[in-house]
Chains A and B, each alone.
Chain A
Amino acid sequence: MTVHAEAHHGPPIANQSSRVDSSTLGMLLFIASEIMLFGSFFTAYFFVRVVGGAPEWPPHPFHLPVFVAGVNTLILLTSSFTMHWSLQAIKRGNRAGMQAGLVLTLALGLTFLLTQAREYSRIGFAPHDGAFGSSFYGLTGLHGAHVFVGLTLLSFATVRAFRGHFTPEDHRGVEIPGIYWHFVDVMWIVVYTTVYIL
């Protein structure tokens, strides 16, 4: 018979769940909190839109650049495609493909952000111009901030990719920013459809 009784000193050992690894669980919890954050902004937006009782939307004299934002949407969707391509490339051992995918994703994300900044400068109203202006800038600005965070994560992944950190077996550093990037794109589809189209 073997004795395995062990004395443990100090604080209790952290409880550990084995269903999901900690980094993915962290990203899932983060995304869950983000959904709640966006949810509060959408609630404010729909409150203004529905309860405000404006006869037309956007209310007169506001006008939204639907076409430019549509092109921007295509740019962001393309960046999700290049992100996916990047991860598929490293899974197949194609390091150059992964690097190209990450650089393209970064470039497209940056283009989206600059186009949005340009849109803000020409749109003709400001956040303080009534409830519509506040909710519009609140929602699109919140999303823009998320794109910025996504670009930061992608920058780390890109630098690491060029330093040879990722392999077909170990590429979590690309996968986690990828999940976040697709989440940011999903949120933009919701924002674009509800704010610009409908």
Chain B
Amino acid sequence: MINPFRSEEEAYRFLLVTVGYFAAIAIAALAIDKWAGLAVFVLLTLAGVVYLVRARRAEPMRQTVSARRGGENEHRILVIANETVGGGLLREEIRRRSEGYDEHVLVVCPALNTAVRHWASDEDGARAQAQERLNASLARLREAGLDAKGEVGDAEPLQAMEDAVRLFGPDEIIISTHPEGRSHWLERGIVDAARERFAVPITHVVVDLEAEQGSREPTP
């Protein structure tokens, strides 16, 4: 987002632009007439809007670099999963990647919500449900011999990931999702967006819980 008050330097630049903007309007209104001032106002405002839209598109994506934490033999894995942590494929992936290391695993469960509740900031229910899913996921990981700590993250998975990257400092990220077409609306395009934003190796694991459950069910 382009924010003119993000820093003193940007605020100063914004002040200079404001001076130019209002000076042009005032000169046109006083030198010609008020309709000329109005025309300059409309033209400059439109030009400003076009500039802002273009600048926003051209703004390079900031890459968040994970700050290295822990010792030499420590491997920190951040797992982003809504409800697929229980999947066998993901458990296997975590185990494979942590082999031979003193591993630290953090599971972040984004508090995914419906669109209406998300925009209305009604997230208490979503957070409570995410906490339940997280507890169940951590229990399954423990059953499989993997111990991890976990937390409920922001409703937007990308933001939840950014918070965790800055606070946890992972060496790699594993994003676990349902198969395409079954993902939550907030999860769509998350893997590509994460690869653009974070300068950390990212692995995408697709977990088909229904297929896994189906294969476990005894045949009649």
Contacts and interface: CB of A to CB of B under 8 A. Distances in A.
Contact of A198 (B11, B26, B162, B167): B26
B18 A179 contact: no
B149 A6 contact: yes
A83 B7 CA distance: 13
Contacts of B103: 1-2
Contact of A18 (B12, B29, B163): B163
B interface: dominant SS: helix
B162 A19 contact: yes
A189 interface: yes
B18 A198 contact: no
Interface in A61-94: 77, 80, 83-84, 87
Nearest to B164: A18
Interface residues of A, number: 34
A16 interface: yes
Nearest to B106: A4
A27 B163 contact: no
A67 B190 CA distance: 57
Best-surrounded residue of B12, B22, B98, B138 (most CB of chain A within 10 A): B12
A2 B103 CA distance: 7
B147 interface: yes
Contact of B11 (A15, A178, A193): A178
Contacts of B91: none
B145 A1 contact: yes
Nearest to A192: B22
A98 B108 CA distance: 44
A198 B5 contact: no
A197 B149 contact: no
B11 A17 contact: no
Interface in A1-33: 1-6, 15-20, 24, 27-28, 31
B188 interface: no
Contacts of A80: 12, 15
Given A5-B149, A183-B11, A189 B18 contact: yes
A186 interface: yes
A4 B5 CA distance: 40
Contacts of B166: 18
A189 B16 CA distance: 10
Nearest to A85: B12
Interface in B5-29: 5-9, 11-12, 14-15, 18-19, 22, 25-26, 29
Given A1-B146, A31-B5, A197-B30, A185 B15 contact: yes
A198 B37 contact: yes
A182 B15 contact: yes
22 contacts: A4-B147, A5-B149, A16-B163, A17-B154, A17-B159, A17-B163, A18-B166, A19-B162, A28-B6, A87-B8, A179-B5, A182-B8, A182-B15, A186-B15, A189-B15, A189-B19, A190-B18, A190-B22, A193-B26, A197-B29, A198-B29, A198-B37
Interface of B: 3, 5-9, 11-12, 14-15, 18-19, 22, 25-26, 29-30, 34, 37, 98, 102-105, 138, 145-149, 154, 159, 162-163, 165-167
Interface of A: 1-6, 15-20, 24, 27-28, 31, 77, 80, 83-84, 87, 174-175, 178-179, 182-183, 185-186, 189-190, 193, 197-198
